[in-house]
Structure 1
Amino acid sequence: MAKGGWRSLLLSARTVSMGSRRAFARLLFLLLSTSGFFQSYAVEVDVKDGANATCLYANWMMRFLITYETNSSDYRNTTLNLSSNVTHDGSVCGNDTQAALLAVQFGEGHSWSVNFTKTNETYQGDFITFTYNTNDTTVFPDAKRKGPVTIVVRDTMQPVQLNNVFVCHNADFLETESVTQIFWNVTVQAFVQNGTIGKKESRCRADTPTSAPTVPPTIANVTTASPTTASPAPTTAPKPVENPETGNYSLKSGNKTCLLANVGLQLNVSQDKPLLVNINPKTTSADGACGNTTAILKLNDRNSTLIGFTFVVKNVSTTAQKFYLKEVNVTLLNRLNGSVISNADNSNFSKWDAFLGTSYMCQKEQTLEISDSIQIHTFNLWIQPFLVEENKFSTAQECSLDDDDILIPIVVGAALAGLIAIIVLAYIIGRRKSYAGYQTL
């Protein structure tokens, strides 16, 4: 931007010690099958208006976890961090009729921006746009798709009073298909008045655990609730009357759907105390990878419950193949600091099998034993991890539990038929005996 313009931008980047967040980042990398740790930088942006007064200020840290396809049609996980060579072209102060825009560019063709809108009393983030460039071979080695890829997601920032500073030290996550955006140590104020950063802070929900929850409680916020703000939990938790809501999840390979799953999920955790929790599909995002012989479905419920299902293909004859569920892992995280509450894995399953090219269905409740302390209950299951055509399930192979529904009327009918036969036979025998009582004179 030319000097002497109606506004100028001042940006400085510095290395920030990761401290305890480094362990959290490493945990996330392990969950997404990545390895290694890369340095991340904090970015400070001070946008000035024509009078050289601050109109938009932000200081934050962020990291991106990305799944991409390689030339061998496999899927690989990578981590993209802010580098030291950050630029800031395109940031805009904003006014009553124009949105404010905070934009940064970094690395080999990567960029990130968020726009802010205002009312008479508040401002808030609107949309976040993230573009990563797979031509960056350092971050995306052997990428099949070359060039920039753009992800747009609605910001989850709540409305903030004008002249207040929005602050969020704890990690926040945004999930969109194959990209997870992670933010922490965030300080931002849009539409700064009179060039002076506000003195009053508006803290995010993660920084204020005493605020009322806006979603049904998860494992994390139930087990970590402050005793001063929540009633004591009972020693035993009864099973919810309602079954969990059925979620509809899918994965794509390019523009084609490669995995379909409809299922209601319920966690049964019995470490310190028994606890049953329904997974809310409205707050759960799906990620994973599709392959020719292996498919992985990862479900993330507000980044406090991570569930992974691994499906594989096996040969049952020289001409036929089946898929089945081989492995399930569950990780329970504390949303406030990212620490692990519990982690369990079972890689010895042989369930949900059906011929390749078909789907598997089981409407009845099933139980998956993950460990001694963690179980998963499934309801209304319909899964097809391979060979999905036209975004629709193929013919379903039903489980034996559902077959029982058909057997019951058959058994009842057979029993009634047998009872009728016995009555008829008894009647005939009775008639014969009555005739045998008369003698011919």
Structure 2
Amino acid sequence: MAPPRRTAGLALLLFLGACGFFQSCAVEVDVKDASNVTCLYAQWMMKFLIKYETNSSDYKNASLDLTSTVTHNGSICGSDTQAALLAVQFGDGHSWSVNFTKNNETYRAEFITFTYNTNDTAVFPDARRQGPVTIVVKDAMHPIQLNNVFVCHHTTSFEAENVTQIFWNVTMQPFVQNGTIGKKESRCSADTPTAAPTVLPTVANVTTASTTVSPAPTTAPTPAENPVTGNYSLKTGNKTCLLATVGLQLNISQNKPLLINIDPKTTHADGTCGNTSATLKLNDGNRTLIDFTFVVNASASVQKFYLKEVNVTLLNHQNGSVILSADNNNFSKWDASLGNSYMCRKEQTLEITEDLQVHTFNLWVQPFLVKENKFSIAQECSLDDDTILVPIVVGAALAGLIVIIVIAYIIGRRKSYAGYQTL
């Protein structure tokens, strides 16, 4: 049997809700074969966080969303001998695709390919590298039973080569049989068994959805205690290249004030190590992404490292949508001599924006030159330096004693004058 021909068009390409900074667009693609019946169906939302180098050798974080101009050139239905391909192009030279293969019982996403174009100056101002950059993620999905619809309401993210791809509200089925989308769902592990099933959209209900305002996400209760301290590390091969021990708390003052403690038990550490730059990426389940970027100050007489940038992405824990994304790339904190570590047991505050702060507790970090999987000698912050209190207390006591002596001397002289009478 000859493989199905590539479609000449797609049935639906619709966007739900507003396309703004905090919320990506939703796209729906219905690919049809030569007989004009559905062979591949997908609806999903996605967002990209990209770290790139500038001409001044600094690093910045860019946020890339789907735009209102999306095409699907290259999408292929697939067959028993040919992989299915879902491909979209958007913005100024950006593209994303997923490749599906199948056997007699299951299908799976073999790899995801994402290409971003740093010539898009609106997204990548002052980018040092010009042109398209391609990232490939392999084994992007576990096998799914044929004729089942893959559904994942919650957030899934893939991190590779300074790019974080974030997906949520995914409904997808390649190799659709007889043009009929399957009625049985295969859920991702993040979705609870009791989660509401996805309603496969039609033209009617998609149009209605575009005018419906989503309810505000339910906020978590304010934590009564300081966060639990977590231990995180990165490796290059079998060698540890970054160590961090810290308790983290987010303070969000946007709308209703909210404190969020980061739970180390559900937090995964990832990132990159380098000679002059290192990034620790913490993913707290399906809720919070925090990136810490450290750099080396090579221009100083004594080489030091310091915290340069912090990026925070807050996700709606109910449906995984992005509700807050902010970064500050102008820090100069947590500095220590290269080869040493930095320690601060007391609470510190990193102000990301006016509405977002990150509080740290029991901090101990070493992003460079880690030896034998252990922290090197720690340079402590001034908040922890209790030795400075000793001279302050002694000085205050001596000053008080001097004041008492002076007052007693003045009173004594006045009493001595009172014993004499004028002749």
User: Closer, same or farther in 2 for the Cα pair 1:329/1:86, shift >3 Å?
Assistant: closer
User: Residues 250 and 358 of structure 2 are in contact (CA less than 8 Å); yes or no, is this contact kept in structure 1?
Assistant: yes
State the match for 1:89 in structure 2.
Answer: 74
**Aligned ranges for residues 356-375 of structure 1 at < 5 Å?**
357-360=338-341, 366=345, 368-370=347-349, 375=360
User: Residues 234 and 269 of structure 2 are in contact (CA less than 8 Å); yes or no, is this contact kept in structure 1?
Assistant: no
Normalised to the residue count of structure 2, the TM-score between the two structures is 0.60
User: Closer, same or farther in 2 for the Cα pair 1:290/1:187, shift >3 Å?
Assistant: farther
- Match of 2:263, SS state, is strand
- Match of 1:18, SS state, is coil
| Alignment partner of 1:67 is 2:51 | yes
Query: How far apart in 2 are the matches of 1:66 and 1:400?
Result: 32
Query: How far apart in 1 are the matches of 2:301 and 2:226?
Result: 48
- Match of 1:45, SS state, is strand
User: Closer, same or farther in 2 for the Cα pair 1:323/1:187, shift >3 Å?
Assistant: closer
User: Residues 90 and 101 of structure 1 are in contact (CA less than 8 Å); yes or no, is this contact kept in structure 2?
Assistant: yes
- Match of 2:112, SS state, is strand
Is the deviation greater in 54-63 or in 4-13? 4-13
TM superposition shift of 1:98: 4.0
Query: How far apart in 2 are the matches of 1:189 and 1:68?
Result: 34
**Aligned ranges for residues 162-173 of structure 1 at < 5 Å?**
162-173=146-157
Instruction: Letter of the 2:341 partner, please give it.
Output: Y
| Alignment partner of 1:278 is 2:273 | no
Q: 1:124 aligns with which of 102, 105, 108?
A: 108
State the match for 2:397 in structure 1.
Answer: none
Query: How far apart in 2 are the matches of 1:315 and 1:383?
Result: 15
User: Residues 103 and 113 of structure 1 are in contact (CA less than 8 Å); yes or no, is this contact kept in structure 2?
Assistant: yes
User: Closer, same or farther in 2 for the Cα pair 1:375/1:302, shift >3 Å?
Assistant: same
TM superposition shift of 1:178: 2.0
User: Closer, same or farther in 2 for the Cα pair 1:287/1:83, shift >3 Å?
Assistant: farther
TM superposition shift of 1:146: 2.0
State the match for 2:283 in structure 1.
Answer: 300
TM superposition shift of 1:199: 2.3
User: Closer, same or farther in 2 for the Cα pair 1:313/1:194, shift >3 Å?
Assistant: closer
TM superposition shift of 1:312: 7.5
State the match for 1:421 in structure 2.
Answer: none
Query: How far apart in 2 are the matches of 1:167 and 1:383?
Result: 38
| Alignment partner of 1:154 is 2:138 | yes
| Alignment partner of 1:189 is 2:173 | yes
Instruction: Letter of the 1:247 partner, please give it.
Output: S
Normalised to the residue count of structure 1, the TM-score between the two structures is 0.58
TM superposition shift of 1:191: 1.9
User: Closer, same or farther in 2 for the Cα pair 1:195/1:210, shift >3 Å?
Assistant: closer
Instruction: Letter of the 2:178 partner, please give it.
Output: N
Query: How far apart in 1 are the matches of 2:181 and 2:82?
Result: 20
User: Residues 113 and 128 of structure 1 are in contact (CA less than 8 Å); yes or no, is this contact kept in structure 2?
Assistant: yes
User: Closer, same or farther in 2 for the Cα pair 1:81/1:274, shift >3 Å?
Assistant: closer
| Alignment partner of 1:336 is 2:336 | no
- Match of 2:71, SS state, is coil
TM superposition shift of 1:81: 2.2
User: Closer, same or farther in 2 for the Cα pair 1:147/1:13, shift >3 Å?
Assistant: farther
| Alignment partner of 1:7 is 2:14 | no
Instruction: Letter of the 1:277 partner, please give it.
Output: D
Unaligned segments of structure 1, at least 5 residues: 26-38, 212-222, 226-234, 251-258, 402-441
Deviations 1:279-303 (A, max 9, x none): 567x3333799989xx865433345
TM superposition shift of 1:42: 1.7
Query: How far apart in 2 are the matches of 1:175 and 1:90?
Result: 24
Give the number of aligned pairs. 339
State the match for 1:263 in structure 2.
Answer: 244
Query: How far apart in 2 are the matches of 1:147 and 1:330?
Result: 27
TM superposition shift of 1:102: 1.8
TM superposition shift of 1:130: 0.9
User: Residues 13 and 41 of structure 1 are in contact (CA less than 8 Å); yes or no, is this contact kept in structure 2?
Assistant: no
User: Closer, same or farther in 2 for the Cα pair 1:74/1:209, shift >3 Å?
Assistant: farther
Query: How far apart in 2 are the matches of 1:269 and 1:112?
Result: 32
Query: How far apart in 2 are the matches of 1:348 and 1:110?
Result: 30
User: Residues 77 and 175 of structure 2 are in contact (CA less than 8 Å); yes or no, is this contact kept in structure 1?
Assistant: no
TM superposition shift of 1:7: 1.8
TM superposition shift of 1:129: 0.8
- Match of 1:124, SS state, is strand
User: Closer, same or farther in 2 for the Cα pair 1:272/1:112, shift >3 Å?
Assistant: closer
State the match for 1:44 in structure 2.
Answer: 29
Deviations 1:242-301 (A, max 9, x none): x85542168xxxxxxxx95222445579999997832567x3333799989xx8654333
User: Residues 236 and 274 of structure 1 are in contact (CA less than 8 Å); yes or no, is this contact kept in structure 2?
Assistant: no
- Match of 1:11, SS state, is coil
State the match for 2:200 in structure 1.
Answer: none
Query: How far apart in 1 are the matches of 2:313 and 2:26?
Result: 28
TM superposition shift of 1:119: 4.0
Instruction: Letter of the 1:186 partner, please give it.
Output: V
Unaligned segments of structure 2, at least 5 residues: 196-218, 252-256, 351-356, 382-423
Instruction: Letter of the 1:286 partner, please give it.
Output: G
User: Closer, same or farther in 2 for the Cα pair 1:332/1:84, shift >3 Å?
Assistant: closer
Instruction: Letter of the 2:283 partner, please give it.
Output: N
Q: RMSD between aligned alpha carbons?
A: 5.2
Identity rate, percent? 45
